[in-house]
Amino acid sequence: MTANRFSYIFGPELYGRLLWFGRLRWLAVCGLALGALLGPWLGFGGVWPSLVVIASVVALYNLFFQGLLHHSRQAGRSFTNLRAVAMFLMVMDLAALMVTTHFTGGLQSPLLPFFAFHMALGTVMLAGRSMYLLAGGVSLGALALLLLEARGRIEFHPMIAGGTLDVSTGSLNLLTLVAALFGIVYLTDSVASRLKSRSIELLEATEALSDRTETLQRLLSELEDLERRKSHYMRISAHQLRSPLGTIKTTLRVLVERIVDPSTKRGRKLLDGALEVTDSLLAIVNDLLDLAKIREGRDRAPWSRGVNLNQLLADLFDSLATEAAERQVKMIPDFEGVAVLDWGVPPALVHAFENLIYNGIKYSLAERPLTVELRTVDESAVIKIIDQGIGIPEAFLDRVFLEFVRAPNAKQHAAEGTGLGLAIVKEVVEAHGGTVSVESPGQEGSTFTVRLPLRHTPSEAQRLLRAGNDRGYGAETHRWA
């Protein structure tokens, strides 16, 4: 397990155990101080200064490390180094306990069970292999203590006045201590390892469940947004269709009921108006059908290889030249380099750029230029349609690519328009892996920017390429149906 993973899973728990162990350490300090105070009455008065020194050392390093732990928590630091802190504290505690054992009867000391207590607590906090090393160290330390006391290298301090060192009892206690240390580490580690494994499995299951929940929430949010858009789309579509149908119905009723004679000038005017409204209605229906075809049949579109955007835009300049001349708008091509898409749907791209350029002509002011820039930047074709027309209000900049959205100044400038053209543009551009955006600084003129990746490969083409079959993907430019 990596350090970061350990820190994430067990860090907070280890932090709490170290604080709890620190509180127990204060009890040990009090016990040592009490032993030093009562030593003369208990028969080992000569060692009380040593017990006071041990108590002071334990109190000092306990105070230091508790302050360090609190500071690290408040500073928001990770728990990565907690195992090193725990290991250091265990070594210090066992060393202090070994020294205390020496001054309270050596291996005949009643404090020997506290070694087993430390082993159990340490194994819960640290890895089993670390505790086996500590158990080995304690065993060697106890053996060294027994040998040094038996050979008179260090003084033996009996718990009872006049007591003597019994090597046999000490040896038996040493063997019992070693067996107890390693046995407790083994048993505790067996249980703790299973608990840690279960904790890891539980955490991983919780993380997986959390990820699934987040994914589900995102999908649910997207579904709700889709339903809202669908409802809005249907409501707006119905409204856009109902108005012209109502006009046509009223006109027909007036004529059928002979309120106005169709042969009169007024009757012919009503018929011309109904015909104009019908054309508008058909334009809306055609745009709705085009938008639906693009959205539903994107993967079935007749993709072509090697679509030259320079040629495509040049052809549009020719086809829209008459419209621009009638509106007194001068179209300026500004092409640098050659942009060729690996894959594209020429009819769809023509439809999209025709919408953008035609809108630029329609909403430009007379005698103002309309510039179409083409650049290749970072393996992408960047096309900008720059007009100097009426501009787009800031409140509508984020909405112009939605269905049936037309800014108020656009409606005043040009009554005709379905409000679907830019929605179609967005769908076509995104089908080619690109993006489209608009800027209208100071609401004076507009700049539509289309960015198309040159190396974009549609999903249908990917499937065919994997199958080793490129048939039907030449340079054809038939209708996107």
Q: How confident is the model at residue 311 (pLDDT cuts 50, 70, 90)?
A: very high
What mean pLDDT do residues 145-152 have?
Answer: 90
Q: Which of 449, 352, 438, 448 is nearest to 395 (CA)?
A: 438
Is a pLDDT exceeding 90 seen at residue 401? Answer: no
Q: What is the DSSP letter of 379?
A: T
What mean pLDDT do residues 203-227 have?
Answer: 81
What mean pLDDT do residues 1-18 have?
Answer: 60
What mean pLDDT do residues 231-249 have?
Answer: 68
What mean pLDDT do residues 165-181 have?
Answer: 91
Q: What are phi and psi of 320, to 5 degrees?
A: -100, 5
- Which residues have CB under 8 Å from 144's CB, separation 6+? none
Task: State the Cα angle at 190 between 184 and 196, rounded to 5°.
Answer: 125
Q: How confident is the model at residue 403 (pLDDT cuts 50, 70, 90)?
A: confident
Q: Does domain 301-466 have CATH number 3.30.565.10?
A: yes
At 261, list the tokens. Answer: 């004679």
Q: What is the pLDDT of residues 84-131, one digit of tens each?
A: 888 888 899 999 999 989 888 888 888 899 999 888 888 887 888 888
Quote the CA–CA distance of 172 and 150 in Å, as a whole number: 14
pLDDT value of residue 446: 92
Q: How confident is the model at residue 267 (pLDDT cuts 50, 70, 90)?
A: confident
- Which residues have CB under 8 Å from 376's CB, separation 6+? 336, 337, 338, 339, 382, 454
Q: What is the pLDDT of residues 180-209, one digit of tens each?
A: 999 999 998 888 878 777 777 777 787 788
Q: How confident is the model at residue 452 (pLDDT cuts 50, 70, 90)?
A: very high
Is a pLDDT exceeding 60 seen at residue 475? Answer: no
Specify the higher pLDDT residue, 129 or 236.
129
Most confident of 174-178, 210-214, 261-265: 174-178
Q: How confident is the model at residue 479 (pLDDT cuts 50, 70, 90)?
A: very low
Its pTM stands at 0.47
Positions of E strands within 302-404: 304-308, 330-335, 340-344, 369-377, 380-387
| Of the listed ranges 109-123, 213-227, 420-434, the one predicted with least confidence | 213-227
- Which residues have CB under 8 Å from 265's CB, separation 6+? none
What mean pLDDT do residues 404-412 have?
Answer: 66
pLDDT value of residue 75: 46
Is a pLDDT exceeding 80 seen at residue 177? Answer: yes
Specify the higher pLDDT residue, 322 or 282.
322
Domain boundaries along the sequence of the chain:
3-215, 301-466
Helix H or strand E segment including 67? helix 48-74
Q: What is the pLDDT of residues 43-89, one digit of tens each?
A: 665 677 888 888 899 999 888 888 877 776 654 455 557 778 888 88
Quote the CA–CA distance of 266 and 423 in Å, as a whole number: 38
Q: Residue 208 half-sphere exposure, CB side, CA atoms within 13 Å?
A: 6
pLDDT value of residue 9: 52
49, 36 in Cβ contact below 8 A? yes
| Of the listed ranges 23-32, 172-181, 270-279, the one predicted with least confidence | 270-279
What mean pLDDT do residues 464-476 have?
Answer: 50
Q: Left, alpha or beta for 385 (phi > 0: left; psi -120 to 50: alpha)?
A: beta
pLDDT value of residue 298: 52
Contacts 24+ apart (CB under 8 A), 386-390: 386/360, 386/445, 386/446, 386/447, 387/360, 387/361, 387/363, 387/445, 387/446, 387/447, 388/364, 388/444, 388/445, 389/360, 389/363, 389/364, 389/365, 389/413, 389/445, 389/446, 390/363, 390/365
What mean pLDDT do residues 364-374 have?
Answer: 90
| Of the listed ranges 216-220, 282-286, 369-373, the one predicted with least confidence | 282-286
